[in-house]
Structure 1
Amino acid sequence: MSRPLYADINLQALQHNYHLAQQCAPNAKAIAIVKADAYGHGAVQVAQALVNDAPAFGVATIEEALTLREASIQTPILLLEGFFESSEIELLHEHQLWCSLHSEWQLQMLEACDQEGNLTLWLKVDSGMHRLGFCPDDALAQVIERLKGLKAVGQLGLMTHFARADEADNPYTSRQIELMKALAAQYQLPLCIANSPATMQFPEAQGDWVRPGIMLYGASPLPTGHPVGDQLQTVMTLRSKLISVRELPAGEPIGYGGRFVTPQTPTRIGVVAAGYGDGYPRHAVDGTPVLVNGQRVPLAGRVSMDMLTVDLSDQPNAQPGDDVVLWGEGLDINEVAAACDTISYTLMTGLLPRVPRRYR
């Protein structure tokens, strides 16, 4: 009998969320972002589920792109960080990969290669994130002319990344949008600038392409109560079972360090097969919500590598073998993430390989 912990991946919900992203940006094409193993969901399985809908996929590295190609995914794949060394340029041509270009050293490598081809390049502009990208000054025109002069370059577009698109009332995003739209008009190039929060709440940011990421996986990057966020469907549910139930008198410390002390006699303590060795955060605080038989119970004590403990005092009938949900259906991953002082992205991408993914 196998350990009961697994990630339940609802591919129909994934498809629903992709279609919702398309509805938010009806005049744009949506690149489905599947980097970091599709945010922990399994890049190959996610791409296979979306291959009839998505006109392109986005990944961080060429290794991630080649994994999709090896799985017979022939859809265009965009390298969001571009290439890291000149030897990768040949692979761009061989596997017909799209590539972002964000630095002078990358441009010089392309010029030195001087290989004929028809590469699709997305020129990344630093519109305010101040992480990667060319400065939007007069030198940008020279960069564009150099790219247009290369025999390897076919299509060219402009892209950027938003720093504060999850803040609806912050004017910073609007300034980034205005800058990028002006550059696209000036150079007559297609535009790809909207991430998930911008796709959901900044229609003026949609451009020719959008890049939905976290929203595909059912976690809203926006505050609760947003009309689009409320329509997202949960894709990943982390499920396990109780493997032990004990009754302890008041005053007994639970787990490493004895952080939680039983408050009453008797206190029912349940042990769940899940721990930080699976990717559940060790720094989760007492009271972090867990579902047992569909009912909320609090985490009680420090998370161990393979197990965690919960207070079952309000569930007198809970027994070993009962169902547990650590996040997902019935328990918003954003709520669990907030209790762990992190974000949903880290919970999803931090789920380790030993946790089986089961697809439906």
Structure 2
Amino acid sequence: MRLATAEISFSALAHNFNKVKQFAPNSQIMAVLKANAYGHGLVRIAQRLDQADAFAVARIDEALALRAGGLVKPIVLLEGFFEPQDLPILLANNFQTIIHDRSQLEALLASELDGQLITWLKVDTGMHRLGVTPEEFDDVYQDLLACQNVHPAIRLMTHFACADDLNNSKTQQQLGLFKQLVQGKAQQHCLANSAAIVGWPDSHGEWVRPGLMVYGVSPMLNCVGADHQLQPVMRLKTRVISIRQIKKGDAIGYGSTWQSPRDTTIGVIAIGYGDGYPRHAPTGTPIIVNGQQVPLVGRVSMDMITVDLGPVTEAKIGDEAILWGPELPVEIVAQHAGTIPYELLCNITPRVDYLYRE
């Protein structure tokens, strides 16, 4: 019996990529594959995104894994490089690097490379995480232009802090500042993440960089993927391994935190925080068992969770249980668990089987 399984739909992946093209028809697409393609499988997902113009990852080990998997498209390092000795590796593997700090600029200026790196200069327009300040932007830009190790086609980018909230004016402020800073610089621009692709069409530059929406999950507040005609790529599922009758007042699980208000049937499901299911998911978090939505009850254990199947049920041992997927959006589960879909998807552990389907 196959237990905890992440079922990945390539047809949903292709559908979502085409939706990105519909949202931003005039932009090149940099598909974001960091964190194991948001928990979906780095190389397998990249192999099916052959229409992408480039890939983006966070760190060099992810980029090297793509090259080892036979992927030849340009790869952008979203955190850039960390040591000067990384630079020859970047050049040899056709990796493109973001420059977000003066220390990276100084390393580039001091290096002797056998070719020129394509660089993306990131400016901090309000996220206050990575990026050169607006005050130093022009100086860093000019230094990059003068650097013999840098390809003259420098690309310019920023990152939005609140693009998932259409009622927040900060995105418009950041967009305005970026346009002011890059005025007169005839370079390619990249501003829009998934949320900006969906909600802020004025931010679509020569490049967009979709992440979450490629996997069929809404990047917007209080929405699910279907609201944007996206299809979930992952269905996380497992099996019922035990069914037992309990009496009113019986407690379930560690700490006896939940006591049954009635005589009922409890199903034990083979998944837990050891598989990546959130330990902090509270009683009432929905789960689909045998096609019916039932509530989680009691604490999440390492290997198991328990659900209330009701006083009368047709469920049986071996029945399929769906934790999230097309039938139950991961956004809904994340809301119950007090977290975000990104965390749930990225936390899938290695003991979960992956099953890829067309």
* Shorter-chain TM-score range: over 0.9
User: Cα distance 1:226–1:27, how it changes in 2: closer, same or farther (>3 A)?
Assistant: farther
Map 1:195-344; keep pairs closer than 5 Å: 195-224=193-222, 229-265=227-263, 267-313=264-310, 316-344=313-341
Show CA shifts across 1:307-349 (max 9, x none): 0000001651111011110011210111100110000000000
* Separation of aligned partners in 1, 2:298 and 2:13: 34
CA contact (8 A) 1:78 1:100 kept: yes
Q: CA deviation at 1:142?
A: 1.7
Aligned residue number for residue 23 of structure 2: 24
* Separation of aligned partners in 1, 2:311 and 2:26: 51
Show CA shifts across 1:132-156 (max 9, x none): 111112x322211111111221121
* Separation of aligned partners in 1, 2:167 and 2:253: 44
Report whether the alignment pairs 1:64 with 2:70: no
Residue 120 of structure 1 is aligned with which of 113, 118, 140? 118
TM-score (normalised: structure 1): 0.96
Q: CA deviation at 1:169?
A: 2.0
Show CA shifts across 1:176-213 (max 9, x none): 11121233332222110100000001110001100100
Show CA shifts across 1:35-66 (max 9, x none): 00000000100000102x00100000000000
Letter in 1 for 2:251: P
User: Cα distance 1:323–1:227, how it changes in 2: closer, same or farther (>3 A)?
Assistant: closer
Percent identical pairs in the alignment equals: 47
Show CA shifts across 1:106-129 (max 9, x none): 000011113241311000100000
Letter in 1 for 2:244: R
Q: CA deviation at 1:298?
A: 0.2
Q: Which runs of 4+ in 1 moved over 6 A?
A: none
Residue 181 of structure 2 is aligned with which of 163, 183, 202? 183
CA contact (8 A) 1:273 1:308 kept: yes
User: Cα distance 1:315–1:328, how it changes in 2: closer, same or farther (>3 A)?
Assistant: farther
Secondary structure in 2 matching 1:183: helix
Structure 1: 5+ residue stretches without partners: none
RMSD value, Cα: 1.4
Aligned residue number for residue 100 of structure 2: 102
> How many residue pairs end up in the alignment?
356
* Separation of aligned partners in 1, 2:223 and 2:340: 17
TM-score (normalised: structure 2): 0.97
Show CA shifts across 1:212-246 (max 9, x none): 00001111021456898430001001011100000
Show CA shifts across 1:9-35 (max 9, x none): 011101111111111111111100000
